[in-house]
Amino acid sequence: MRFGDDASLTNVSLNKSLQSLTVIPLGGLGEFGMNMMALRFGEDIIVIDAGMMFPESELLGVDLVIPDITYLKQNRANVRAIVLTHGHEDHIGALPYILRDLNVPVYGTRFTLALVKKRLEEAGLLQSTTLREVLPGRRVEIGPYEVEFISVTHSTIDCVALAIRTPVGVIIHTGDFKIDQTPVGGVPFDLHAFARYGNEGVLALFSDSTNVERPGFTPSERAIVPRIEELCRSAPRRVILSCFASSIHRIQQVIDIASRVGRKIAFVGRSMVDNVEIAHSLECLRIPDGMVVRPQDIRGFDPKKIVILASGSQAEPMSSLSRIAVDNHRFVSVDENDSVILSARIIPGNEKAIFRMLDHMFRRRALVYYDNSAGTIHVSGHASQEEQKLLLQLVKPKYFIPVHGEYRHLFRHAALAHQIGCVSGEILLLEDGKTIEFTEDGVHRRDPVTAGRVCVDSGSLEEIEEVVIRDRKHLSEDGVVVSIIAIDKHTGKMESHPEIVTRGLMSDNGQELIAGARAVIINTVEQSNAEEKSDWGVIKEKIRVDLKRYINKHTSKRPLILPVILEV
């Protein structure tokens, strides 16, 4: 089995009189996240999505990773718009950084743009950015492109695929999708639109590969209701449920379940509160009057009459659920016989942190539910193999290009398309930066463009093209601070005063600064409970955050801070 990768596509000398459409993938082909793709016809470029991804653990001090947009900056005058498929961070998270260099209109659905507004407001870019709301089923013209927004179902709301009519042919980009036949919001997956384009003729289909390793169909979002309702109804005390804050359908169902079993609802965590407020203000979320308990009232509320919706399902070090697990949250604690439900996929790479967090819950004798072995408490938002096949058969593209996934996902999606035989031309495997050009006489490989990852320190909006350069910049301008703390894991006590080593930071008041930093560390450790002290991930993050704040306040510098815990 052979696909049209770089080796099999010919790099021909094209007749310049032929009309051509160039596809430039800038992110999301070879990794999960950072989704971004550009289309160029003549001098007109449109960009599909602008996502971010979270860094691997070895990228010390990096807050997030965004696509390298060198190509777009080099062609800044030709970029007409950014078109968004939906509001997940891996599709919109890079906008606050990219729009500083590309001041172009942003098209998206109502909820998607509401999430974008929040991020642009925080970055001080809202007033200078043009946001254009679109409706599923409608079409807009952007230069030579006519874009139709096709309603699809996913794990958040207001999601669309894009059918882009160009002088060369129709391109369909699915965005993220699954085919949910009983959607919670009542807005169905528009199979008819895909079939209509399939009958008309589609030049190329770019389709979501995330769940290609899963056979069958992805269950409907409604599949979670029986098990979660059963757990809420039988729970002896309070229920703490964590899901992705963008899963508005999941949140709606939990609210409805709580109402049916006679419990109130409380929302905990910044992202959860923000997204609920946005969705409720847009009337995308129905919350009965008198249903909501304020976070500050949770401790005094009857534990048998409340469901707490908390963010932090991936055990991010300072997220609400992580702090709840070690009894370090202002408003919520876990007691014996409380029910903790993790209604979210465990993202690969996060397993260790999540299970460590769940261990803390078990230590408190909570009733913990975190997988589907005894009933469905989570379903994916991405299409499995049978849905991917169905879409391919409806669209019947001339060319097929898998997107959104690591290389094995793209390869297996290509193999699936080859297996069902509904692609009349070639199946093409691309990676970030590898461009192709469609013309009247076929598809051709073009020279690759600059693509890759840009590391970002979100506190300063500073972009670092390579992590080595970023660390050198830290070391040369702001220095490095290494704090060494010896802690007895059994007692949680420090065995000696913290030792602090600095390079590139010392000034006239250096000794005074170090003495203050040592006091900050001692205070942080002493104010932490025993479980936090025994969890190196949590205590190191607390020390890093507190030291960062202290040093920035006294020196206006942002050194690289590396806490080291010595177990005694």
pLDDT tens column, 249-268: 999 999 999 999 999 999 99
Res 170 pLDDT > 60: yes
Average the pLDDT over 56-67 and give the result.
70
Q: Residue 111: CB partners within 8 Å, gap ≥ 6?
A: 87, 156, 157, 158, 248, 278, 279, 282, 284
Q: Are 268 and 311 in contact (CB under 8 A)?
A: yes
Q: What's the rounded Cα separation, in Å, for the pair 31 and 13?
A: 32
- Residue 528, CB-side half-sphere exposure with 13 Å CA sphere: 30
Q: Are 32 and 53 in contact (CB under 8 A)?
A: yes
CATH 3.40.50.10710-classified regions of the chain: 221-369
Q: Residue 496: CB partners within 8 Å, gap ≥ 6?
A: 486
User: What residues pair up with 131 in beta bridges, in sequence order?
Assistant: 106
The model's confidence at residue 7, banded by pLDDT at 50, 70 and 90, is: very low
Q: What's the rounded Cα separation, in Å, for the pair 442 and 20?
A: 10
State the distance between the two ends of the chain, measured CA to CA, in whole angstroms: 57
The model's confidence at residue 463, banded by pLDDT at 50, 70 and 90, is: low
Please tell us whether the domain made up of 221-369 is placed in CATH 3.40.50.10710. yes
Predicted local distance difference test score (pLDDT) of residue 513: 84
Res 92 pLDDT > 90: yes
Q: Among all chains, which residue has been given the structure tokens 């008819």?
A: 192
| Cα 138 off chain centre by | 27
Q: Are 309 and 251 in contact (CB under 8 A)?
A: yes
Predicted local distance difference test score (pLDDT) of residue 449: 95
Q: What's the rounded Cα separation, in Å, for the pair 45 and 73?
A: 12
Q: What's the rounded Cα separation, in Å, for the pair 27 and 12?
A: 26
Closest CA to 336 of 238, 417, 204: 238
Res 492 pLDDT > 80: no
Q: Nearest 5°: phi and psi at 413?
A: -65, -40
140's tokens: 């807009």
Q: Are 452 and 478 in contact (CB under 8 A)?
A: no
Res 63 pLDDT > 80: no
Q: What's the rounded Cα separation, in Å, for the pair 400 and 422?
A: 10
Q: Among all chains, which residue has been given the structure tokens 């006679």?
A: 262
Q: Are 242 and 308 in contact (CB under 8 A)?
A: no
Q: What's the rounded Cα separation, in Å, for the pair 464 and 82?
A: 23
The angle at the Cα of 173, spanning 15 to 43, to the nearest 5 degrees, equals 40
Predicted local distance difference test score (pLDDT) of residue 12: 44
Q: Are 481 and 500 in contact (CB under 8 A)?
A: yes
Evaluate if pTM is beyond 0.85.
no
Q: Which of 90, 176, 208, 535 is catalytic?
A: 208
Superfamily of domain 20-216+380-455: Ribonuclease Z/Hydroxyacylglutathione hydrolase-like (3.60.15.10)
For 346-355, the pLDDT digits (tens) are 877 788 889 9
Render 80-115 in DSSP notation, one character per residue.
EEEE-S---HHHHTTHHHHTTT----EEE-HHHHHH
Question: Can you tell me whether residue 249 is helix, strand or coil?
Answer: helix
Res 379 pLDDT > 80: yes
Closest CA to 415 of 2, 41, 47, 61: 2
Q: Which of 91, 329, 382, 444 is catalytic?
A: 382
Q: What's the rounded Cα separation, in Å, for the pair 137 and 130?
A: 22
Average the pLDDT over 480-509 and give the result.
79
CATH 3.60.15.10-classified regions of the chain: 20-216+380-455
Q: Is 297 among the residues known to form the active site?
A: no
| Cα 418 off chain centre by | 30
For 127-167, the pLDDT digits (tens) are 999 999 999 999 999 999 999 999 999 999 999 999 999 99
Q: Is 444 among the residues known to form the active site?
A: no
Q: What's the rounded Cα separation, in Å, for the pair 132 and 142?
A: 12
Q: Residue 234: CB partners within 8 Å, gap ≥ 6?
A: none
Predicted local distance difference test score (pLDDT) of residue 217: 97
Work out whether strand 306-310 and strand 239-242 pair parallel, antiparallel, or are unpaired.
parallel
Predicted local distance difference test score (pLDDT) of residue 535: 82
What stretches of 366-440 show up as alpha helix (H) in DSSP?
385-395, 407-420
Predicted local distance difference test score (pLDDT) of residue 16: 47
Low-confidence winner among 19-23, 102-106, 450-454 (lowest mean pLDDT): 450-454
The model's confidence at residue 15, banded by pLDDT at 50, 70 and 90, is: very low
Q: What kind of architecture, by CATH, is found in domain 466-567?
A: Roll (3.10)
433's tokens: 């930066």
Closest CA to 160 of 142, 181, 137, 186: 137
CB pairs under 8 A, 24+ apart, for 124-127?
Answer: 125/96, 125/99, 125/100
The model's confidence at residue 237, banded by pLDDT at 50, 70 and 90, is: very high
